[in-house]
Structures are given as C-alpha cells and as structure tokens.
Amino acid sequence: MDIVGGLLDGTRANGAFLIRSVFDPPWSLRIRDEAPLSV
C-alpha cells in the first residue's frame, strides 16, 4: 500500500453528511442543529 492510499484508507468520519445547495443571490443559510459543527 502506498502512503496516500494508507492515509485515505485511515480517514473516517462518524455521523458525517454532505449537502450541496445552489442559491441565487441574495441568499442566506441557517443551520439549526444541536450537534457540534467541525470542518
């Protein structure tokens, strides 16, 4: 296994989700969830 493959294979997220949204200006986004948000 190469270094990059090992790095990508070892990366895991718990309870992660992805949302893609496209808005026309003007726009705003409010996230209302009690879970901590981290990037």
Q: At which residue do the structure tokens 């948000």 appear?
A: 37
Over range 5-9, report the average pLDDT: 69
pTM, two decimal places: 0.24
Which is more confident, 39 or 28?
Answer: 28
Angle, CA of 24, 39 and 25, to the nearest 5°: 10
Q: What is the pLDDT of residue 39?
A: 63
- Counting Cβ atoms within 10 Å, is residue 6 exposed (0-12), middle (13-18) or buried (19+)? exposed
Say whether pLDDT at 38 is over 70. Answer: no
Domain map (residue ranges) of the chain:
1-39
Say whether pLDDT at 1 is over 60. Answer: no
Q: What is the pLDDT of residue 30?
A: 79
Residue range 9-34, pLDDT digits in tens? 666 666 667 778 888 888 887 777 77
